[in-house]
Structure 1
Amino acid sequence: MQIGIDKINFYTPHLYVDMNKLAIARNQEPEKFTIGIGQDEMAVAPITQDPVTLAANAAWNMLDEADKEQIDFVIFGTESGIDHSKSGAVYVHHLLGLKKEARAIEVKQACYGGTAAIQLAKGHIALNPTSKVLVLASDIARYGLNTPGEVTQGAGAVAILISADPRILVLEDEVSYRTDEIMDFWRPVYSDTAYVDGKYSNEQYISFFSHVWTAHKEKTGFDLNDFEALCYHLPYTKMGLKALRTIYDDKTEADKERLVENYQISTRYNRKVGNIYTASLYLSLLSLLEQQENLRDGSRIGLFSYGSGAVGEFFTGILQPNYRKYLHTAEHTTMFEKRQEVSIAEYEEIFKQELPKDGSTLDLNIEEDPAPICVAGIKDHMRQYVNKQKV
Structure 2
Amino acid sequence: MNIGIDKIGFYTPHLFVDMNKLAVARNVEPEKFTIGIGQEKMAVPPITQDSVTLAANAALGILDDQDKEQIDFVIFGTESGIDHSKSAGVYVHELLDINPYARSIEVKQACYGATAAIQMAKGHIALNPESKVLVLGSDIARYGLNTGGESTQGAGAVAMLISANPKVMVLEEKSTYLTKDIMDFWRPVYSDKAFVDGRFSNEQYISFFQQVWERYKEKTGLGLDDFEAICYHLPYTKMGLKALRTVLDEVTEDVQERLTTNYKISTTYNRNVGNIYTGSLYLSLLSLLELKEDLQAGSRIGLFSYGSGAVGELFTGILKPNYREHLFVETHTKLFDSRREVSVEEYEEIFQNTLPTDGSNIELDIENDPAHICVSGVIEHMRQYVNKLR
The Cα of 1:358 is off from its aligned counterpart by 1.7
Q: Deviation per CA, 1:2-60, whole angstroms, max 9, x where unpaired?
A: 00000000000000000000000000000000000100000000000000000000001
1:250 partner letter: E
* Partner Cα separation in structure 2 for residue 81 and residue 267 of structure 1: 26
Aligned equivalents of 2:61 and 2:220: distance in 1? 37
Secondary structure at 2:73 match in 1? strand
Alignment of 1:179-328 (within 5 A): 179-328=179-328
Gaps of 5+ in 2: none
Distance in 1, Cα, partners of 2:43 & 2:359: 27
Provide the C-alpha distance between the structure 2 equivalents of 1:331 and 1:93, rounded to a whole number of angstroms.
22
Residue deviations 1:361-390, cap 9 Å, x none?
100000000000000000011000000002
TM-superposed deviation, 1:99: 1.2
Cα distance between partner residues in 2 of 1:124 and 1:197: 36
Q: 1:314 is paired with a residue of what secondary structure?
A: strand
Write out aligned runs for 1:161-180 (5 A).
161-180=161-180
Contact 1:53 1:374 in 2 (8 A): yes
* Separation in structure 2 between the aligned mates of residue 189 and residue 251 of structure 1, nearest angstrom: 45
Whether 1:380 and 2:371 are equivalent positions in the alignment is no
Note if contact 1:14-1:339 (Cα within 8 Å) is conserved in structure 2. yes
- Structure 1 residue 344 displacement after superposition: 0.2
Structure 2 match to 1:126: 126
* TM alignment of 1:340-379, pairs within 5 A: 340-379=340-379
Q: Give the whole-Å Cα distance in 1 for the aligned partners of 2:281 and 2:111.
A: 9
- Partner Cα separation in structure 1 for residue 7 and residue 75 of structure 2: 15
Counterparts of 1:38 and 1:61 in 2: how far apart (Å)? 28
Aligned 8 A contact 1:155 1:274 in 2: yes
* CA deviation map 1:336-366 (0-9, x unaligned): 1110000000000000011000221100000
Aligned to 1:8: 8
Report if aligned partners of 1:112, 1:307 keep a CA contact under 8 Å in 2: yes
Amino acid at match of 1:54: L
Write out per-residue CA displacement over residues 249-273 of structure 1, whole angstroms, 9 at most, x where no aligned residue: 1111011000000000000000000
Distance 1:259 1:248 in 2: 9
Q: Secondary structure at the match of 1:367?
A: coil
The runs of at least 4 aligned residues of structure 1 exceeding 2 Å deviation read none
Per-residue CA deviation, residues 135-163 of structure 1 (Å, 9 max, x unaligned), is: 00000000000000000000000000000
Q: Distance in 1 between matches of 2:287 and 2:195?
A: 29
Letter in 2 for 1:247: V
Q: What is the rounded CA distance, in whole Å, between the counterparts of 2:370 and 2:212 in structure 1?
A: 42
Residue equivalent to 1:156: 156
The aligned residue for residue 102 of structure 1 is: 102
TM-score, scaled to structure 1: 0.99
Q: TM-score, normalised by structure 2?
A: 1.00
Query: Quick one: distance in 2 between partners of 1:25 and 1:301?
Result: 39
Structure 2: how far apart are the matches of 1:381 and 1:191?
18
| Deviation string, structure 1 residues 173-202 (Cα, Å, up to 9, x no partner) | 000000000000000001110000000000
CA deviation after TM superposition for structure 1 residue 294, in Å: 1.7
Report the 3-state secondary structure (helix = DSSP H, G, I; strand = E; otherwise coil) of the residue aligned with 1:302: strand
| 1:331 CA drift (Å) | 1.1
Q: Name the SS of the counterpart of 1:283 in structure 2.
A: helix
| Contact 1:359 1:382 (C-alpha < 8 Å) held by counterparts | no
Whether 1:25 and 2:22 are equivalent positions in the alignment is: no
Secondary structure of the residue aligned to 1:183 is coil
Give the SS at the match of 2:288: helix
> Can you list the C-alpha shifts for 1:86-122, whole angstroms capped at 9, x where unaligned?
0000000000001110000000000000000000000
AA at the equivalent of 2:14: H
**RMSD of aligned Cα (Å):** 0.4
Q: Say which SS state the counterpart of residue 367 (structure 2) adopts.
A: helix
User: What SS does the corresponding residue of 1:235 show, helix, strand or coil?
Assistant: coil
Q: In structure 2, how many angstroms separate the alpha carbons of the residues matched to 1:280 and 1:61?
A: 18
Measured after TM superposition, the shift of residue 70 of structure 1 is 0.4
| 1:145 aligns to 2:106 (yes or no) | no
Task: Give how far 1:130 is off.
Answer: 0.1
SS at match of 1:136: strand
Residue type of the partner of 1:106?
Answer: E
- Shift, 1:248, TM fit: 1.3
* Residues 86-97 of structure 1 mapped to structure 2, 5 A cutoff: 86-97=86-97
Letter in 1 for 2:298: G
Distance 1:100 1:64 in 2: 16
Counterpart in the other structure of 1:68: 68
In structure 2, distance between residues paired with 1:356 and 1:143: 19
Output the CA distance in 1 between the equivalents of 2:44 and 2:92. 21
